Amino acid sequence: MYKSNGCAPGRPGISPRWTSSAKTGVGTALGGESRVWFTLSHGIFNEIYYPHIDKACVRDMGFIVTDGADFFSEEKRDTNSEVHWIAGGVPGFRIVNTCREGRYRIEKQIVTDPHRDAVLQQVRFIALQGALSTYQLHVLIAPHVGNQGSGNTAWVDEIDGKPFLVRGPGGRPVTSVRRMAGRTSMPTKK
């Protein structure tokens, strides 16, 4: 078992790249309070823009599915994806990603909060083969804060006793995390 020294294995990784231009959806909140936009492709977030539509902060975000032994699947590469509008006139989506090997399905509903600068994703993981408890689901995110694909440092810290994902420089809190996994991997040490 790999024991972390606080740094991501293989850091700093490959050179930054932009994502696919084959978009299947674009969304934002109705009204003018939220400054978040997003695009979809291959069944995942393709880009998330904030605080302006020309400032990409996330290149892409999807899931890695594994059984911890001999099964590994990247959601955007190893699933067939269906994208549907939540309802007519609503800039939100329902996505169903089904593993090409028939082992799992991921169902998502994606909207932007109309009163806050946040995109929301409700996720349901369904085991189609084997027990749900045999699968591990991991978030795979490629940050590009302020249109920059390199120099995006982050770490997990505690603020008021709660775990937060913090980004540098300046150590600004990005998001609260209700339940952190037992292990984390970040590109640099705090």
pLDDT of residue 189: 35
- In this predicted structure, the answer to whether residue 17 has a pLDDT above a threshold of 70 is no
- In this predicted structure, the answer to whether residue 84 has a pLDDT above a threshold of 50 is yes
pLDDT of residue 60: 87
Condensed to tens digits (0 to 9), the pLDDT of residues 48-71 reads 888 888 888 888 899 999 998 999
- In this predicted structure, the answer to whether residue 114 has a pLDDT above a threshold of 50 is yes
First-last CA distance in the chain: 23
Residue 27 and residue 37: Cα distance in Å, rounded? 6
Please give the model's pTM, rounded to 2 decimal places: 0.76
Condensed to tens digits (0 to 9), the pLDDT of residues 25-49 reads 889 988 878 899 999 999 999 888 8
Domain locations in the chain? Answer: 25-150, 153-190
Domain covering 25-150 assigned CATH 2.70.98.10 in the classification: yes
